[in-house]
Amino acid sequence: MDASASRVNLLLKCGYWARKDILAPPNDSGPGATYGVAVHALTEQHGTEVSPNPETYMQLDDLELARAKVDAWSLFQWHSTHVGGDKHHEQKVAFNVNTRTARILTKPEPRDYSECSPDEFPGTADLVAVKPEAVCVLDYKTGHTPWEIYKPQLEFLGLCAAKIYNRSRVVCVVLKVSDGECYPHHWTMEEERLVEFEDQFVTAFNRVPGCEPTPGAHCTGLYCPMAGTCPATLGKLSDELGVPLDSIKTDASIENEEHAKRIYELKLLMGKSKKVLEDSLKRYVDNNGGITLPNGKVYTKQNGSYKECRPVGS
Ligand code: SF4
């Protein structure tokens, strides 16, 4: 399983998805993720004078690319103005749960964590700024997810930076950007919080092998990669669809044609159930205005279509 800093929040709530013996479905990144990758690459271009690989943004249309360039310039200007110190862009790090030390990873390819040992958990900070009295970690965010969701990710990266640069104070910054405007959210981790977070993380990491599913609002709210295949969520589906759970293999692989037929039938049933559920949700929204979702967004009707929107006033 692809476990890294962006999933620390999920790891603190459930470790099942991170088990090495569980086969996860392939990662499918949507258009929001493509836009985010492009903004990150373009921002780094300003920071390092290195041209981003066009593959990172060629899926965007002209309008989206123009918007991404404006957002990237805004992010670059913000951290150039507000963040001092010795800056490191796109810094890949790993925390070792046995030695409780951290190190900088050396492979140049972005998000390539293959050099990590089984005792290490990796992550990438968009920007690390080292000052005499503190170290600052920043992460750029382009979506509408509430910034609080990212606190564990930033605190994990902050813990690594504190150890690598031998600092006892960390300033964490979630730097959200939208339509060329930056919205920074920052907080400080003092020594006590660093120790507390380190203990929480090590406990969560160590309980992963053999961990059973721990379902909750985080399954969808924190975008669990196993949400479509884990026994807990399939159990809910089996109740809803009247399909015995035992007849559904609970991993993403198909072993033979009989299994393939069962999965195909399940897909058809799920499609019908999905339509019924969507219609009932739309009726609920028509009568009640909207539904506040676990990810902090609101499912409501806007310009004639039903969709997830950011809450009013955020
Ligand atoms: S879907 Fe929920 S219960 Fe299942 S692995 Fe993910 S977080 Fe855990």
Within the chain, what is the greatest distance between any pair of CA atoms?
64
Is residue 268 assigned to a domain? yes
Is residue 34 assigned to a domain? yes
Q: Which atom of ligand 1 is nearest to the CA of 215?
A: 3
Q: Which atom of ligand 1 is nearest to the CA of 233?
A: 1
Last residue of a domain, one of 173, 206, 239: 206
Distance between CA atoms of residues 238 and 244, nearest Å: 6
Whether 154 and 253 share a structural domain: no
Whether 185 and 62 share a structural domain: yes
Question: DSSP labels for 105-156?
Answer: ----STT--TT--TTEEEEEEEEEEE-SS-EEEEEEE-S-S-GGGGHHHHHH
By residue range, what is the domain housing residue 178? Answer: 5-206
Quick one: tokens of 2?
A: 């692809």
Indicate whether residue 232 lines ligand 1 (CB < 6 A).
yes
Whether 136 and 170 share a structural domain: yes
Whether 194 and 225 share a structural domain: no
Ligand 1 center–CA 234 separation, angstroms: 10
Indicate whether residue 22 lines ligand 1 (CB < 6 A).
no
Which of 27, 211, 218 maximizes ligand 1 atoms within 8 Å of its Cβ, making it the mutation to test the pocket? 218
Is residue 138 assigned to a domain? yes
Q: What is the pLDDT of residue 314?
A: 58
Whether 176 and 30 share a structural domain: yes
In degrees, to the nearest 5, what angle opens at C-alpha 297 toward C-alphas 295 and 301?
140
Is residue 309 assigned to a domain? no
Q: What is the pLDDT of residue 309?
A: 84
Whether 139 and 169 share a structural domain: yes
Whether 197 and 224 share a structural domain: no
**pLDDT > 90? residue 236:** no
Which of 17, 19, 211, 251 maximizes ligand 1 atoms within 8 Å of its Cβ, making it the mutation to test the pocket? 17
Is residue 196 assigned to a domain? yes
Last residue of a domain, one of 206, 228, 263: 206
Is residue 173 assigned to a domain? yes
Whether 163 and 266 share a structural domain: no
Whether 202 and 222 share a structural domain: no
Average confidence (pLDDT) over 196-220: 93
Distance between CA atoms of residues 263 and 257, nearest Å: 10
pLDDT digits (tens, 9 = 90+) for 272-283: 767 777 888 999
**pLDDT > 60? residue 74:** yes
Average confidence (pLDDT) over 19-36: 72
Is residue 306 assigned to a domain? no
Q: What is the pLDDT of residue 125?
A: 96
Q: Whose CA is nearest to atom 7 of ligand 1?
A: 219
Count of domains for the chain: 2
Q: Which atom of ligand 1 is nearest to the CA of 214?
A: 3
Stronger pLDDT, 268 or 134, i.e. the higher one: 134
Whether 158 and 25 share a structural domain: yes
Q: Whose CA is nearest to atom 5 of ligand 1?
A: 17
CB 124 within 8 A of CB 111: yes
Can you give the CATH number for the domain in which 156 is found?
A: 3.90.320
Indicate whether residue 219 lines ligand 1 (CB < 6 A).
yes
Whether 87 and 234 share a structural domain: no
**pLDDT > 80? residue 47:** no
Is residue 296 assigned to a domain? no
Average confidence (pLDDT) over 120-143: 95
Q: Which atom of ligand 1 is nearest to the CA of 231?
A: 4
Quick one: tokens of 271?
A: 């499609």
Q: How confident is the model at residue 225 (pLDDT cuts 50, 70, 90)?
A: confident
